[in-house]
């Protein structure tokens, strides 16, 4: 269960901002990686100017990603010393297209950005789409995140400004009162 079918070979040595070379390898995350995953999530939230929005816990990640019915997958980028980044994704379904992959986040530690680690992770998810027969890969990018927009443009990705993201928060869901009894058999 922890191995990807697609070949994720260690890549050529990549120079880092820390002025040394390292071998980067990709692998599927396991439960013991979750503390590092949560740290990456918090780092991204800080970058996106929303550090207080992270409410997920290690318990949530373990239950939802490694429980009886996992609902997400993670590909990690690492060197021989540490986890450097991740691609966090899950399967979705389009009523028009069929099976899709939704890329929730690509996160690379700040000290290692600009070294093609995000490129490796993004391309690994594209390959996962090919392998699984996904009809579409989808993600969101903040309109002010110019480095990410420029990155996606290199792939000739469609960045569609006409779709508006809808969202209900946990509080809105919990305080919702239906107008009638709803029974789903």
Please state whether beta strands 14-15 and 21-22 pair in parallel, antiparallel, or not at all (unpaired): antiparallel
Clarify whether 152 is annotated catalytic: yes
Angle between helices 58-66 and 34-47 (to 10 degrees): 110
pLDDT at 1: 38
DSSP letter (8 states) at residue 48: T
The pair of three-digit structure tokens given for residue 60, joined into one six-digit string? 């949530």
pLDDT at 4: 37
- What is the pTM assigned to this prediction? 0.85
Alpha-carbon gap, residue 182 to 88, rounded angstroms: 33
- DSSP 3-state assignment of 110? helix
* Given the residues 89, 93, 102, 152, the one annotated as active site: 152
The pair of three-digit structure tokens given for residue 120, joined into one six-digit string? 């490796």
Listed in sequence order, the residues at least 6 apart from 21 whose beta carbon sits closer than 8 Å to its beta carbon are 13, 14, 15
Instruction: Find the helix or strand (DSSP H, E) in which 151 lies.
Output: helix 146-153
Residue-by-residue pLDDT tens, the chain, 185 positions: 333 333 333 333 333 333 335 689 999 999 999 999 999 999 999 999 999 999 999 999 999 999 999 999 999 999 998 999 999 999 999 999 999 999 999 999 999 999 999 999 999 999 999 999 999 999 999 999 999 999 999 999 999 989 888 999 999 999 999 888 887 78
pLDDT at 164: 85
């Amino acid at each position: 269960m922890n191995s990807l079918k697609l070949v994720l070979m260690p890549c050529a040595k990549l120079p880092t901002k820390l002025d040394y070379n390292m071998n980067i390898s990709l692998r599927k995350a396991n439960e013991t990686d979750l503390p590092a995953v949560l740290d990456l999530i918090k780092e991204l939230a800080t970058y996106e100017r929303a550090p207080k929005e992270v409410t997920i816990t290690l318990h949530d990640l373990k239950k939802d990603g490694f429980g009886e019915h996992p609902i997400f997958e993670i590909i990690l980028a690492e060197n021989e010393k540490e986890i450097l980044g991740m691609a966090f994704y899950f399967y979705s379904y389009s009523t028009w297209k069929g099976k899709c992959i939704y890329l929730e986040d690509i996160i690379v530690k700040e000290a290692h950005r600009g070294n093609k680690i995000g490129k490796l992770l993004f391309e690994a998810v594209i390959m996962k789409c090919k392998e699984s027969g996904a009809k579409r890969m989808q993600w969101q990018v903040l309109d002010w995140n110019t480095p990410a927009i420029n990155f996606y443009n290199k792939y000739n990705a469609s960045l569609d400004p006409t779709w508006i993201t809808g969202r209900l928060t946990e509080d809105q869901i919990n305080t919702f009162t239906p107008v009638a009894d709803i029974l789903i058999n």
